[in-house]
Each structure stands twice: as structure tokens, then as C-alpha cells.
Copies of this chain bind each other. A is one copy, B any other.
Amino acid sequence: MKTRFRKKLISAALFVALTLIATVALAADPLPSWNDGKAKQSIISFVEQVTKEGSPDFVPVAERIATFDNDGTLWGEQPMYFQLFFALDRVKALAPKHPEWKTKEPFASLLKGDVKSALKGGEAAIGQIVMATHAGMTTGEFDQIVKDWITTAKHPVTKKPYTEMVYQPMLELLDYLRANGFKTYIVSGGGVGFMRPWAEKVYGIPPEQVIGSSGKLKFDLRGGKPVLVKLPEINSIDDKAGKPINIQQHIGRRPIAAFGNSDGDLQMLQWTTAGNGARLALIVHHTDPVREYAYDRKSPVGKLDKALDAATANGWTVVDMKNDWKLIYPFEKK
């Protein structure tokens, strides 16, 4: 009897020990959708370096600022920026109130479903479309319009909601950084009012940590009640040199880690890595034509040319989506 009891005890202890080991092993991989390789290793090394107390590269929690581009870095941007799909849907919804659009470009082509012709006018055409759809209402009204759209709209190729077309490995990276005391920010060329209504739910990033392009606002009293009206005037374009500028205006601290995917992120990566101490600069390179898209130097959307050269020259981390990521989207999980 005694021997049998001892055996039971040993097997129970073994079971507990194995469970513990398994738990620790699982906990030890904070980035399960990342294949082992240089990219994953550079992230983990950096985080260990800056969080290890007593290390020369240790960074206090308050200074662990990480900034993420959104389009092409946290979610997709092909065949065109998702916010542009939103704007096109808004043009259609608003068309009955704008009979003049039937003959006025870029609206006339858009309403005929001819996006290509509509966008022939380049940035000026896009500006007209954005102003017509992103201004003229209160911030509260716009918030509701975005919420309604984002819960119903589907991507033209995958037929998935846009909020599901976020990159699973990047979601894990956001969680991993936050678990290590980082404050995670979005610093995107996209509109701040377009991202805030869903960024907290989808990325765990609260409105006050979303920085983006913005229009001017006007304070007004309507029937004694204050409102903020969105004006058709640019306040800030949060792209290229605008990124470090807005990081300074909003955060007032230099990030120690920055993540992007295009030339629009180059100055943010330069600004981040020019600080003292350990820094992480990472570029998501879209190299997977099967599971996602493959594009870089010649792409009209998310052009990655100078920033790719800078990555080579400066030893920044370049993520090869095809080889570094086990999964692209969360819905691929079985």
C-alpha cells in the first residue's frame, strides 16, 4: 500500500511538473504566429534589452513608447486604402442630396462605378472626395457614420469585414509590447476620426493613442448645446515628415520602437532610431502574393522604396510576410 501511494504521489507530482513546463513553454512564445527567424528574434531581443532592470539599455515604463503605422502595417491597404472605400460608399449615400455630382468630377465617374476614372485626378480628386464625405457634420455624427459603416462594409476581394483584415502577428506584437509596459500608439496617414471609433476594440488602442491626419474643427453652440463641426480644411497630414512632427505635438516623447511598411513611415523610423539607447525600427514587407499581396518599390499604394534602402543601410528589421508569418489574418486560425 505504501509503495502504491508513493507511486501515485510521484505520478501526481510529475503531472503537475509537466503541466507547469507546458504552461511556461507556451507563455514563453509571446508571438506564436511568427516563424522563428531574424525578425522575430530582433523583436524579442529588443524587448528583453529595454525591460531588463540594471541593463545599460533599460528604459523606464513611462518612456516605452511604440508607434505603429496602420494601413499596410496593422491592417491591409489593397487594392486601395480602406478609408477610400468608406469615402466612396459615402459619396453614393450622399448623392441624392447632391444632384450636381451627376455631372461633376470626380463624383460623376464614381457614381457610375468607374473608380479608376474618378481617381485620375490624383490627390486633388481624392481631396475633393474626402472633403465632401468627411466634413460638414459634427464629430459625434461622423463617429456614428463610421461605426455604422465599419460594422457592415465588406472587403471587395475577401468579402470579410475590414476589421477582420488585420494582421494576426501584429496583434500579437501589440499585446506583447503592452504586456512589457509599452504604450502603443497608431501614427497613420489615415484620418484620426475614421480610426478612433474601432481602434480600441480591434487593436486595444484607445482614442487618445490614435494619431492621424485631421481636418480643422469649429466649436459652435446649437440651441445652447456645444458641438464640434468638421470643416473642409486640412489641419494636419500625418504622413512622411508629418509623422515625427505629430509624434512631437501629441506625445512629446521620442518613441523607442516604430513600425511601418512604406516610404510614408521613413521619417518616423529615422526619428525613432536617432534617439540614444536601444531602438527597434521594423518594416512590414508585403511579399506574399498568395495569402495577401506582394508589392513594394512600384506600388501606387504603400510604396516601399527609400525606406527599404534605409532599412538595409541602417540594419532595421524587415519582416518578410511570406516567410516570417505563419498566419496573416485572425480568421485563418483553425
Contact = CB atoms under 8 A, between A and B. Distances in A.
B226 A267 contact: yes
A38 interface: no
Nearest to A250: B250
Interface string A263-288: 00001001100100000000000000
Given A226-B267, A267-B226, A252 B196 contact: yes
Interface string A226-269: 10100000010000010011001111110000000000000100
A218 to B, nearest CB: 8
Nearest to A252: B207
Top 10 nearest A-B pairs (CB, nearest first) are A207-B252, A219-B241, A208-B251, A217-B245, A226-B270, A196-B252, A226-B271, A226-B274, A207-B253, A228-B248
Interface residues of A, number: 34
Contacts of A207: 251-253
Contacts of A210: 252
A98 interface: no
B208 A253 contact: yes
Interface centre among A200, A206, A226 (most CB of B within 10 A): A226
A192 interface: yes
Interface string A52-93: 000000000010010000000000000000000000000000
A318 to B, nearest CB: 20
Interface string A193-234: 100100010000011101000100111010001101000000
A62 B200 CA distance: 10
A244 B235 CA distance: 15
A252 to B, nearest CB: 3
A207 B251 CA distance: 6
A276 to B, nearest CB: 11
A163 interface: no
Given A62-B206, A219-B267, A228 B245 contact: yes
Given A226-B271, A228-B245, A271-B226, A252 B219 contact: no
A162 B193 CA distance: 38
A174 to B, nearest CB: 16
A252 B241 CA distance: 23
A139 interface: yes
A252 B214 contact: no
Contact of A249 (B217, B245, B270): B217
Contacts of A208: 65, 183, 250-253
Contacts of A139: 248
A212 to B, nearest CB: 10
A245 B219 contact: yes
Given A208-B250, A217-B245, A218-B245, 17 more contacts: A139-B248, A192-B249, A193-B252, A206-B253, A207-B251, A207-B253, A208-B251, A210-B252, A214-B249, A219-B267, A221-B270, A226-B267, A226-B270, A226-B271, A228-B245, A228-B271, A250-B250
Interface centre among A65, A217, A248 (most CB of B within 10 A): A248
Contacts of A253: 206-208
